[in-house]
Amino acid sequence: MPQPNGTVAVAEGGGGVSPNAGRVSKPRGRFFPVGIGPVARKELADHLSGLRFGILLVLIGVTCLAAVYAASSSIREAVSQAQTFEFAFLNLFTSSGENLPSFVSFITFLAPLLGIALGFDALNSERSQGTLSRLVSQPIHRDAVLQGKFVAGLGVVGLALTALVVIVAGLGIVLLGTTPSLEEVGRLVAFIIVTAIYVGFWLALAQLFSVLFKQAATSALASIAVWLFFAIFASLIVGLVVDAVAPAGEGATNAEVIRHEELSDDLNRISPSTLYDEATTALLNPSVRSLGVLVYEQIDRAVVGPLSFGQSLVLVWPQIISLIGCVLLFFTVAYILFMREEIRA
Amino acid sequence: MGDVVEREADREVREMPDDNHGSVIVASGLTKKYGDFTAVDGLDLEIQRGEIFGLLGPNGAGKTTTILMLLGLTEPTEGTVRVAGYDSVRDPLSVKSIVGYLPDNVGFYPNMTGRQNLRYTASLNRIPRKVAEERIEALLADVGLNEAADKRAGKYSRGMRQRLAVADALIKHPTVLILDEPTIGIDPEGVREMLSMLARLRDEEGMTILLSSHLLHQVQEVCDRVGIFVGGHLIAAGPVPELERQLAESGDLEYEVTAVASDGRQVDGATLEKLADSLKSVDGVQDVTSERGTLSVRSRRDVRAEVAKAVVALDLLPVHLRQRGLSLDDIYERYFHEGAEADHASA
């Protein structure tokens, strides 16, 4: 279509860039929002060069290495007493030393902090810096901002966890004098992935709060409040509720005891920490055969032995899916809130 | 606007931007309501290619809301807006890819250098790395930030930030440049530099520029046209001289008239009073005051002919008859005043 006076169809002096029509509709905009790549790259660089991530990494690294060192001495003792010791390597992560909790319990406790620290100021800091209005006026989809930040956060977490597990594994080879079997490696990889999802849960929550609250401090406090609730109070409350609803005191029938335990399990599973706890327990302890109540009849005449990796995975599949579901839920809410928000300086 | 809409727009076959008689920005019936409050009320606006349009109005007049709607950053309650032929509601990504925007209260990532901040914007616009580096270099030179380019943006002064923001808005080589209060917080010399840069962009690149400001006298010389925006209404739009004329035709005018008796002597008080009375009866005249032999006539329309006639009818000779000049600030204040009154009336 000839345009005699060339009205605005083409950007001035594109300098090698095609006219605007070609600039926007890139094929990758179809599935991923346009602009997620640059946002994620920038956020990743920010995290890696930032002081905050460094502090957290040192904190988690030091505590976990201490835990592993403590665990290794007790494992060596156990190995020296028994002739065979299956999955010694995994024990490095799950068994506790004399004075210190295990690697996994440290991670369970600190992982939320990592997620919160990486996400609590994701959007409100952009807003208070005045960069958000610049960002959303670029030709990118608005959800690319949230998703890019989430992807970057998860990337950093994955990187840190992998590094940590590899260091611990290396340490284990030196301390225990054995190498991990292929199955152990598989289980460790699954552990890293599940942990990343768990951190993703807290990251998504913190990001949601960063959209919801204009002040970074408010959203940090809100996230920490949720973390403390699940870490400390949730199980207490569940205990009270279960005792009230399905009491199983002295002289209770089997049915009552089972009902009590099952209700307690179900309610506890509302908490993401419980889900994560169960998932990692089953993944790192091949001998765990069930995460619920087992009555004697069920294990009568069962062949005692570890589960295969695949079976362990089947066991924790619901937990993993629930965690992913929570992440998606938070993400969706944050997305809806952010989409509807009008950004003014 | 939903992302769904944005994605759908991607899939559509892009229509060529239509000519629209050279109008780059066309808003019609644009309305934005926040609950009961109407921020922008039925705005009709056309901005031509290659002109600098100044959107002037007091704080809270709806200038920023209008700009957000132009960019597709907020959805209008009613009405449509097209920028370079793209619908800002349905196809905001296309609009954003050709519009450079300098937001009010602009900020940068404090831990990144000015150059890194620009690089990030370039990457969001999918500008190839090499091209981006060249543009960044040239733009930094243009806005005079060469030396500070590798300093952290957190250390920049307000004026430097504003200049970096101009470079940031220009990095995508926009067809349209929208600046929200670009002169706030920078010194007079900086304002002058920025305005001359805008004029250069218009003259050399044919860029269409929309700027909002609440300081008329700062921006009037660079604006081809201005729109006066008060309480969500565009109460006047046009080149400054034309607004002046419009004002002269519609608003209150003041004339000074001095007369002498036919023999050349000064007019005595009684005659002067008689003249004042006869002037008061002229259609359109609102008030006549006398000061040291000179009458001031306030009128709704041009009454110079009638005034002269009235003077002659009393057998006097007019020796001085002049319309009192209205500075642009007078116009501006008057419009704002009217707008404020209208606000009170509607509230």
Q: What is the pLDDT of residues A53-63, one digit of tens each?
A: 889 888 888 88
Q: What is the pLDDT of residue A28?
A: 45
Say whether B7 and A7 touch across the interface (CB within 8 A).
Answer: no
Chain A positions in Cβ-Cβ contact with residue B138 (cut-off 8 Å): none
| B118: CATH | 3.40.50.300
Q: What is the pLDDT of residue A82?
A: 60
| A30–B10 CB contact, under 8 Å | yes
Rounded CA-CA distance A124/A207 in Å is 9
CB B174 within 8 A of CB B201: no
Same domain (yes/no): B116, B173: yes
Q: Is B142 or A21 the better-scoring residue by pLDDT?
A: B142
pLDDT at residue B335, as a whole number = 61
Q: What is the pLDDT of residue A21?
A: 39
Average the pLDDT over each of A170-179, A183-192, B187-196 and give the range with the smallest value: A170-179
What amino acid occupies position B142? D
Nearest to residue A142, comparing CAs of A35, A272, A265, A1?
A: A35
Q: Are residues B230 and B269 in the same domain?
A: no
Q: Which residues, including other chains, have CB under 8 Å from residue B228's CB and lie 6 or more apart? A: B56, B57, B234, B235, B236, B237, B243, B332, B335, B336, B339
Residue A18 — pLDDT band, cuts 50, 70, 90? Answer: very low
pLDDT at B208 over 80: yes
Domain boundaries, chain A: 33-294+306-340
What is the pTM assigned to this prediction?
0.78
Q: Judge whether residue A26 has pLDDT over 70.
A: no
Condensed to tens digits (0 to 9), the pLDDT of residues A245-265 reads 877 777 778 788 888 888 888
**A102 near A94, Cβ under 8 Å?**
yes
**What are the two backbone dihedrals, phi and then psi, of residue A257, each rounded to the nearest 5 degrees?**
-65, -45
pLDDT band for B10, please (50, 70, 90 cuts).
very low
What is the reported pLDDT for B11? Answer: 38
In a domain, B273, yes or no: yes
Name beta bridge partners: B290.
B295
pLDDT score recorded for residue A5: 42
Assess if residue B340 is contained within a domain: no
Q: Which two tokens stand for residue A99?
A: 């004075």
pLDDT at B101 over 90: yes
Choose from A157-171, A192-206, B37-51 the range with maximum mean pLDDT: A192-206
Q: What is the pLDDT of residue A85?
A: 60
Say which of A16, A30, A139 has its CB closest to residue B125: A139
Is-contact B49 A7, C-beta < 8 A? yes
DSSP 8-state assignment for residue B113: B
- Clarify whether residues B142 and B270 are in a common domain: no
Interchain contact B153–A (C-beta under 8 A): no
DSSP A232: I
- Facing B126 at nearest CB: one of A23, A50, A142: A23
Split at pLDDT 50, 70, 90, the class of B337 is low
Is B72 within a domain?
A: yes
Asked if residue B212 lies in contact with residue B203, where contact means CB atoms within 8 angstroms, the answer is no
Cα gap A328→A180, rounded to integer Å: 34
Per the domain annotation, does B33 fall within a domain?
Answer: yes
Q: Rounded CA gap, A320 and A187, in Å?
A: 14
Instruction: With H, G, I as helix, E, B as strand and everything else as coil, classify residue B158.
Output: helix
Question: How close A330 gets to chain B, by Cα (Å)?
Answer: 17
Name the pairing type of β-strands B52-56 and B78-83.
unpaired
- Check residue B315 and give its pLDDT: 83
* pLDDT of residue B54 exceeding 80: yes
Shared domain check, B231 and B259:
no
* Chain A contact present for B7, CB below 8 A: yes
**A184 CB burial (10 A radius; 0-12, 13-18, 19+):** buried
β-pair partners for B227: B55, B237
pLDDT of A11: 37
Predicted local distance difference test score (pLDDT) of residue B248: 63
- Residue A196 has a pLDDT of 93
Residue B139: alpha-carbon gap to chain centroid: 26
Segment B208-216 shows an average pLDDT of: 87
Which CATH number goes with the domain that contains B258? 3.30.70.100
What is the Cα B75 distance to its own chain's centre? 22
pLDDT band at A299 (very low <50, low <70, confident <90, very high): confident
Contact of B93 with chain A, judged by CB distance below 8 Å, is answered with yes
- Categorize the per-residue pLDDT at B328 as very low, low, confident or very high, splitting at 50, 70 and 90: low
B304 touches chain A (CB under 8 A): no
- pLDDT at B80 > cutoff 80: yes
Alpha-carbon distances, residue A91 vs A24, A75, A99, B180 (angstroms): 52, 7, 16, 62
- What's the pLDDT tens digit per position in B176-185? 999 998 888 7
Amino acid B13: pLDDT: 37
pLDDT at B21: 58
> Is B114 at the interface with chain A, CB within 8 A?
no
Asked whether residue B343 is assigned to any structural domain, the reply reads: no
Residue of higher predicted confidence among A267 and B330: A267
What token pair was written down for A276? 């994560």
Contacts of B70 (CB under 8 A, 6+ apart): B25, B27, B81, B83, B88, B95, B99, B178, B210
User: For chain B, what percent of residues have pLDDT higher than 90?
Assistant: 15
> Burial letters for A20-52: b for 16+ Cβ neighbours within 10 Å, e otherwise?
bbebbbeeebeebbbbbbbbbbbbbebbeeeee
Specify the higher pLDDT residue, B215 or B337: B215
pLDDT, tens only, B114-130: 999 999 999 999 999 99
Boundary (domain end) residue, out of B180, B212, B238: B238
Which of B207, B238, B269 is where one domain is finished? Answer: B238
Is the model's pLDDT at B40 over the cut of 70?
yes
The beta strand positions in A8-139, using DSSP E, are none
- Which chain A residue's Cα is nearest to B20? A7
Where would I find the H helices in chain B? 3-11, 63-70, 92-98, 114-124, 129-142, 158-170, 188-205, 216-219, 240-250, 269-280, 304-313, 328-346
The number of domains in chain B is: 2
User: Measured between CB atoms, does B241 come within 8 Å of chain A?
Assistant: no
> The domain containing residue B288 runs over which residues?
251-323
Alpha-carbon distance values, A135 to A82, A148, B1, B127 (Å): 62, 12, 16, 15
Cβ within 8 Å, pair B73-A5: no
Confidence category of residue A27, pLDDT binned at 50, 70, 90:
very low
In a shared domain, residues B60 and B187:
yes
For B326, the 3-state DSSP assignment is coil
When pLDDT is cut at 50, 70 and 90, the band that residue A345 belongs to is: low
Give the side-chain half-sphere CA count within 13 A for A89: 23
Smallest CA-to-CA distance from B301 within B247, B252, B243 is with B252
Give me the residue from B104, B168, B205 closest to A12, CB to CB: B205
In a domain, B332, yes or no: no
Indicate the angle between helix axes A143-176 and A103-119, nearest 10 degrees. 160
Q: Do residues B24 and B180 touch, judged by C-beta distance below 8 A?
A: no
Q: Do B161 and B220 sit in the same domain of this protein?
A: yes
Counted across chains A and B, CB pairs separated by less than 8 A come out at 160
Residue with tokens 């969706």: A332
The pLDDT tens digits for A91-108 are 778 877 777 788 888 888
The answer to whether residue B51 sits within a structural domain is yes
| Per-residue pLDDT at A225 exceeds 90 | yes
B180 near A CB under 8 A: yes
Local confidence band at A12 (pLDDT 50, 70, 90 cut-offs): very low
Residues B316 and B192 in one domain: no
Please count the helices (runs of H) and the strands (runs of E) in chain A.
Answer: 15, 0
What pLDDT shows up at residue B338?
A: 58
Distances (CA, A) of B195 to A115, B179, B214, B221: 46, 11, 15, 9
pLDDT of res. A206:
94
B114 min Cα distance to partner chain A (Å): 13
Nearest residue of chain A to residue B8 (CA atoms): A30
Which string of DSSP letters, residue by residue, matches A169-182?
Answer: HHHHHHHH-----H
CA dihedral angle for residue A112, residue A113, residue A114, residue A120, rounded to 10 degrees:
100
Average pLDDT rounded to a whole number, residues A165-178: 83
Q: Is the pLDDT of residue A136 over 80?
A: yes
Chain B positions in Cβ-Cβ contact with residue A49 (cut-off 8 Å)? 111
Arithmetic mean of pLDDT, B15-25: 61
With tokens 């926007």, the residue in question is A24
B309 has pLDDT over 80: yes
Residues B151 and B10 in one domain: yes
Residue B337 inside a domain? The answer is no
Over the Cα atoms of chain B, what is R_g?
26
pLDDT of residue B273: 84
Phi, psi of A278 (to 5 degrees): -65, -40
Please tell me whether residues B54 and B85 are part of one structural domain: yes
> Are B180 and B124 within one domain?
yes
Look at residues B198, B217, B238 and tell me which one is the last residue of a structural domain. Answer: B238
User: Is the pLDDT assigned to residue B155 strictly greater than 50?
Assistant: yes
Instruction: Pick the residue from chain A with its C-alpha nearest to B111.
Output: A46
Q: What is the DSSP letter of A303?
A: P
Residue B148 has pLDDT above 80, yes or no: yes
- The complex's ipTM works out to 0.78
Residue of A3, A20, A48, A51 for testing the chain B interface, max B β-carbons within 10 Å: A20
